[in-house]
Amino acid sequence: MQWQDIAISVAQWASVIALFPSVFSRDKPALSSSLLTTACISLFFVSYLTLGLVVSAISAAFLLVTWATLAYQQWRIIRSRAADTM
């Protein structure tokens, strides 16, 4: 295991933990921000796998799921507001 693998994964785990309040609160990031971040992290995930940084890839997968969850939550909020206005 390379030191870069550990450093990247620690930063990503910290990001996952930092996002927990957003996942469990009513306030969510913008849908476009969540989708773009999800797309970028999916590229990181694939890159880490191809570089053999397995621990970083695992932590990127968790970060990817967290951002995708936020995107889904925001999409549901937008959809329910649109249904309320009809």
Look up the pTM and report it.
Answer: 0.92
Q: In angstroms, how far is CA 30 from the centroid of its own chain? A: 13
pLDDT of residue 83: 85
Cβ(64)–Cβ(41) under 8 Å?
A: yes
Distance CA 35, CA 2 (A): 30
3-21 burial, b if ≥16 CB within 10 A, otherwise e? eebeebbeebeebbeebee
* pLDDT level of residue 82 (50, 70, 90 thresholds): confident
Is pLDDT of 1 > 90?
no
Grouping H, G, I as helix, E, B as strand and the rest as coil, residue 29 is coil
